[in-house]
Structure 1
Amino acid sequence: MEAALLGLCNWSTLGVCAALKLPQISAVLAARSARGLSLPSLLLELAGFLVFLRYQCYYGYPPLTYLEYPILIAQDVILLLCIFHFNGNVKQVTPHIAALVSSWFVLALQKWIIDLAMNLCTFISAASKLAQLQCLWKTRDSGTVSALTWSLSSYTCAILLRFVIMLALNIWVTVTVLRYQKTAIKAE
């Protein structure tokens, strides 16, 4: 039963990731505008996906553990092209794509580079979300931002919620142990 549930979670996440950005791309194309989308957010998200994919490839993980990342990267690149097209800056996409392609090779130059990048991946991902929030707060206009895309993204993260809860509880136990150790030392 447990294996079946895990398999369902894995495959449903992969399925959701395969279509994750499609509502956003569709909204931008339908509106012929990228209003409300944060370019820094998208670039940070692409960087995070790229780091994670490169890390998995570098260390030889099985493709099924990272199969969603090439799909997400492809969707983000399409979205990036849409943003530059509708903002009238198509020529400015070239340096961004060149930087992403170059980083693929730079990440694997030294083991410490890929390891450091992977350690920073959570911060990069969080910065991406904060950049989108900042854009929304600043403009007070969601423009063509797709609520469905963000909801699907939330679903893929919800599966990891168990680990966040366990982390919080483990930290709580650790702090409690340390607190009571100090109390026991003082009592002696």
Structure 2
Amino acid sequence: MMVSESLGDLVSQYFAKGIVLVIADLLSLITVSSCLVIKVPQINTIRESKSTKGISVLGLCLELFSYTVMISYNYTSGYDFLSYMEYPVLLLQEYVLIYYVFKYQGLLGKRAQIFAIFYVAIATLIYLKIFPIMILTFLVPFCTPIGATSKVLQLVAILRSKDASSVSRTTWALSAFTNMTRIYTVYVQSHDWMLLSNFLISTFLSSSVFAAACVYKKKVKKA
């Protein structure tokens, strides 16, 4: 009886903070959950088509850099894992995605191997907390423009090739959705205008890539 009353009190206290914040928490949960599979549709699309038409290699590399810096900074700073849990998941998916893109573009040569060795070496230093945190602190502010640039490059790649047959619309729809939910959660919880501007730009760019993918996939089908 006491347990049920205590549970009831906790629920009441939680909802007492207001429906606006409750919705923000729910959207945050949905956002993190979406990140668990956000790259999977794109990976499957490339595997099935065995083609990477319309995929920007440079955009993927910039995205890899952004994810790596963010997870490294959070880890080295000793922040709670739950506060940046989506980044390791996104990073693992990014590794798989880059592998298949490089594979079908014939880029798995010596340069890629050297880069991989260098990347693993740096990652090891970061894991052992030997890598200077000052460098990571310096790089963090660049993640926002780099992330935006990666999306712009992806959009340009589709527009130039006029072929989005290898681009997953589901992945970009999820990207736009998760960024849009973050606009609400950030506005409600912190009013951080820097973060808001980041998510606004990301929502617009992800939506643009999604729209371009829809347009050029239709054209390919008609042909």
Q: 1:110 aligns with which of 110, 114, 132?
A: 132
8 Å contact from structure 2 (residues 28, 182) kept in 1: no
Q: What TM-score does the superposition give when structure 2 sets the normalisation length?
A: 0.68
Provide the C-alpha distance between the structure 2 equivalents of 1:131 and 1:108, rounded to a whole number of angstroms: 33
Q: 1:93 aligns with which of 112, 118, 123?
A: 112
Matches within 5 A, 1:109-148: 109-148=131-170
Question: Who is 1:186 aligned against?
Answer: none
| Larger RCO (CA under 8 A, 6+ residues apart) | 1
Provide the C-alpha distance between the structure 2 equivalents of 1:97 and 1:38, rounded to a whole number of angstroms: 19
Q: Give the superposition deviation at 1:108.
A: 6.0
Q: Residue type of the partner of 2:66?
A: G
8 Å contact from structure 1 (residues 84, 90) kept in 2: yes
Matches within 5 A, 1:37-56: 37-56=55-74
Q: 1:57 aligns with which of 75, 78, 100?
A: 75
Provide the C-alpha distance between the structure 1 equivalents of 2:26 and 2:114, rounded to a whole number of angstroms: 40
Question: Who is 1:16 aligned against?
Answer: 34
Provide the C-alpha distance between the structure 1 equivalents of 2:112 and 2:36, rounded to a whole number of angstroms: 24
Residues paired across the two proteins, number: 169
Q: Give the superposition deviation at 1:54.
A: 0.6
Runs (4 or more) in structure 1 with deviation over 6 Å come to none
Provide the C-alpha distance between the structure 1 equivalents of 2:23 and 2:69, rounded to a whole number of angstroms: 28
Provide the C-alpha distance between the structure 2 equivalents of 1:5 and 1:72, rounded to a whole number of angstroms: 24
Structure 1 residues 108 and 124 mapped into 2: Cα distance closer, same or farther (>3 Å)? farther
Provide the C-alpha distance between the structure 2 equivalents of 1:134 and 1:81, rounded to a whole number of angstroms: 21
Provide the C-alpha distance between the structure 1 equivalents of 2:135 and 2:106, rounded to a whole number of angstroms: 35
List per-residue Cα deviations over 1:35-71 (Å, max 9, x = no partner): 1111001010011011110111111111111111111
Provide the C-alpha distance between the structure 1 equivalents of 2:114 and 2:60, rounded to a whole number of angstroms: 15
Structure 1 residues 44 and 61 mapped into 2: Cα distance closer, same or farther (>3 Å)? same
8 Å contact from structure 1 (residues 24, 149) kept in 2: yes
CA RMSD of aligned residues (A): 2.4
